[in-house]
């Protein structure tokens, strides 16, 4: 048997392709090998077989594992060619998928009882599996489910209400959901950082979303002295650490400049906010 941490390539079949929100789809794939191996925070690469345009796979976060370990789900926002084609998939269609890639989310800080997951735009996708793991409602990749914290607050911002995707699934998983929109059409009108500031103080913050939002979150957590990890969605080509197209500057006291490049696909996608040079 392949080592459980090694990426595997699967010829998967689409089980369902469900619209969740405006331009946002949840794709369930029959891929038991990925379900067995992939942990919250990791991602998979997906490619449409037989296509030369786009030729390369596209990265998507593990969103959930299907009942009985039959496969996994990923959720995507249509932004371009590949995601446009994925939106047209039907049950029974083939899909190439490989993973798990990258590192899982780190454990919350020692003694943490309350965790805030802060998402912007499509950045909520890795947090459903993370909620289930933190609250112990599901184990992943053979790990026994165990409750790690008492409470999970999901702070989820989007431009407008029609882009909020899969909110009920977070509530069912046990998270307390706090919505924000730029136009005030759902939840608080304004930024996720304002919503976070009004919540009971979390012991650890995880963020995923557009870079300006992540930078604002990193600054807020630094000011408040909160441990913070950010999951990056840097565009990628290989996903395997070969092409260096995904690098980010990370503090490294051992290097002459005090920082060095790290590959988001193998060293990330999640980094401690304080280690990211351009996010301070």
Ligand X SMILES: Cc1cc2nc3c(=O)[nH]c(=O)nc-3n(C[C@H](O)[C@H](O)[C@H](O)COP(=O)(O)OP(=O)(O)OC[C@H]3O[C@@H](n4cnc5c(N)ncnc54)[C@H](O)[C@@H]3O)c2cc1C
Q: How far apart are CA 170 and CA 58, in angstroms?
A: 25
For residue 237, state whether it binds ligand FES (rule: CB under 6 A).
yes
Q: How far apart are CA 212 and CA 91, in angstroms?
A: 37
- Among residues 28 and 233, whose Cβ is nearest to ligand FES? 233
Closest CA to 214 of 161, 139, 150, 270: 270
- Among residues 124 and 193, whose Cβ is nearest to ligand X? 124
Q: How far apart are CA 77 and CA 165, in angstroms?
A: 10
Give me the least distance between CB of 142 and ligand FES, in Å please: 26
* Interacting residue with ligand FES among 33, 239, 262, 269 (CB under 6 A): 239
Give me the least distance between CB of 134 and ligand X, in Å please: 18
For residue 226, state whether it binds ligand FES (rule: CB under 6 A).
no
Could you tell me if 71 and 12 are in contact, meaning their C-beta atoms sit under 8 angstroms apart? yes
Q: List binders of ligand X among 38-77 (CB under 6 A).
A: 43, 54, 58-61, 74-77
Could you tell me if 187 and 180 are in contact, meaning their C-beta atoms sit under 8 angstroms apart? yes
- Among residues 136 and 241, whose Cβ is nearest to ligand FES? 241
For residue 140, state whether it binds ligand X (rule: CB under 6 A).
no
Q: What token pair was written down for 264?
A: 């988001």
Q: How far apart are the first and last CA of the chain?
A: 43
Q: List binders of ligand FES among 244-263 (CB under 6 A).
A: 244-246, 263
Q: How far apart are CA 116 and CA 251, in angstroms?
A: 25
- Among residues 48 and 116, whose Cβ is nearest to ligand X? 48
Give me the least distance between CB of 181 and ligand X, in Å please: 19
Could you tell me if 270 and 103 are in contact, meaning their C-beta atoms sit under 8 angstroms apart? yes
For residue 180, state whether it binds ligand X (rule: CB under 6 A).
no
Dihedral pair phi/psi, residue 185, rounded to 5°? -75, -15
Closest CA to 29 of 40, 7, 13, 17: 13
* Interacting residue with ligand X among 236, 250, 273, 276 (CB under 6 A): 236
Give me the least distance between CB of 271 and ligand X, in Å please: 12
Could you tell me if 64 and 73 are in contact, meaning their C-beta atoms sit under 8 angstroms apart? yes
Residues that bind ligand FES (CB under 6 A): 236-239, 241-246, 263, 265
Residues that bind ligand X (CB under 6 A): 43, 54, 58-61, 74-77, 79-83, 122, 125, 233-236, 269
């Amino acid at each position: 048997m392949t080592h459980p941490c090694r990426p595997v390539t699967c010829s998967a079949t689409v089980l369902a392709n469900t619209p969740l929100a405006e331009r946002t789809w949840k794709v369930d794939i029959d891929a038991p090998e990925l379900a067995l191996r992939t942990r919250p925070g990791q991602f998979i690469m997906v490619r449409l077989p037989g296509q030369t345009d786009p030729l390369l796979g596209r990265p998507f976060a593990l969103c959930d594992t299907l009942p009985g370990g039959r496969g996994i789900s990923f959720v995507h926002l249509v932004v371009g060619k590949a995601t446009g084609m994925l939106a047209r998939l039907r049950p029974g269609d083939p899909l190439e998928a490989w993973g798990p890639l990258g590192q899982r989310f780190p454990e919350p800080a020692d003694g943490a009882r309350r965790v805030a997951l802060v998402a912007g735009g499509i950045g909520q996708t890795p947090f459903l599996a993370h909620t289930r793991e933190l609250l112990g409602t599901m184990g992943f990749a053979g790990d026994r489910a165990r409750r790690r914290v008492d409470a999970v607050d999901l702070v989820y911002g989007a431009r407008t209400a029609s882009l909020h995707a899969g909110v009920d699934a977070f509530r069912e998983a046990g998270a307390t959901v706090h919505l924000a929109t730029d136009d005030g059409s759902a939840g608080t009108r304004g930024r996720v950082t304002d919503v976070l500031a009004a919540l009971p103080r979390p012991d650890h913050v995880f963020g995923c979303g557009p870079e300006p939002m992540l930078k604002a979150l990193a600054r807020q957590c630094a000011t408040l002295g909160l441990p913070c990890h950010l999951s990056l969605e840097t565009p990628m080509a290989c996903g395997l650490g070969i092409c260096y197209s995904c690098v980010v500057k990370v503090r490294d006291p051992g290097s002459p400049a005090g920082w060095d490049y790290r590959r988001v696909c193998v060293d990330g996608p999640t980094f401690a906010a304080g280690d990211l040079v351009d996010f301070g």
